[in-house]
C-alpha cells in the first residue's frame, strides 16, 4: 500500500496486477473505489475458460481479494457497475453475481459495451465502505 494526499493505493498479489497505468483500488477515509476487474487468473494473467459464468465468478473473486486487502469486503459494497460484451449474457452473469451478493445487494448499473480488455465477456467495478471493525 502507498498513501498520499488522503488516498491509499491498494495492491494485492491475490488479484491480477493492473495491466495499465492504474491501481487495483484506491482507499479513502471511508470508501474503497476499485478498478474494473475482468476474469483474469492472477497466476497466468489469462482469461479463465468456461464462458460468462466462469469469468463472472473470477471477476467477483478478484474483487473480493482487492476489497479485503483494503480493509473492506463484498458485504460492504454499495455500488457496482457491470460491463457486458453481450447483454444476452445478463441472466447467466446475474445468477453468479447473486451467489456473491445473496443479501443486502448493492446498487448496480449494467451496460453493454463494444469490447473489453483481453477480449473479456464481463468487467465489474465497485465502490465499498471500509469495514468499521478494521484495525487501521
The distance between the two most distant Cα atoms of the chain, rounded to a whole number of Å, is 43
CA 40 to chain centre: 11
- Copy the grid coordinates of residue 135: 484495525
Q: For the domain made up of 2-129, give the CATH fold.
A: 60s Ribosomal Protein L30; Chain: A; (3.30.1330)
**In this predicted structure, what is the pLDDT of residue 73?**
97
Cα 120 to Cα 97: distance, rounded to the nearest angstrom? 16
Model confidence at 135, in pLDDT bands (50, 70, 90)? low
**In this predicted structure, what is the pLDDT of residue 108?**
98
pTM of the model: 0.93
User: Domain limits of the chain?
Assistant: 2-129
- Copy the grid coordinates of residue 7: 488516498
Structural contact between residues 71 and 131, judged by C-beta atoms closer than 8 angstroms: yes
Model confidence at 1, in pLDDT bands (50, 70, 90)? low
Amino acid at each position: 500500500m502507498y498513501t498520499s494526499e488522503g488516498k491509499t493505493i491498494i495492491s494485492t498479489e491475490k488479484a491480477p496486477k493492473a495491466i495499465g497505468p492504474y491501481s487495483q483500488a484506491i482507499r479513502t477515509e471511508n470508501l474503497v473505489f476499485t478498478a474494473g476487474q475482468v476474469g483474469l487468473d492472477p497466476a497466468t494473467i489469462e482469461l479463465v475458460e468456461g464462458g460468462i459464468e466462469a469469468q463472472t465468478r473470477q471477476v467477483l473473486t478478484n474483487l473480493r481479494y482487492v476489497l479485503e486487502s483494503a480493509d473492506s469486503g463484498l458485504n460492504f459494497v454499495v455500488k457496482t457497475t457491470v460491463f457486458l460484451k453481450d447483454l444476452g449474457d445478463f441472466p447467466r452473469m446475474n445468477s453468479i453475481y447473486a451467489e456473491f451478493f445473496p443479501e443486502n445487494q448493492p446498487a448496480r448499473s449494467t451496460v453493454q459495451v463494444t469490447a473489453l480488455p483481453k477480449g473479456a465477456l464481463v468487467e465489474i467495478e465497485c465502490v465499498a465502505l471500509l469495514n468499521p471493525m478494521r484495525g487501521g
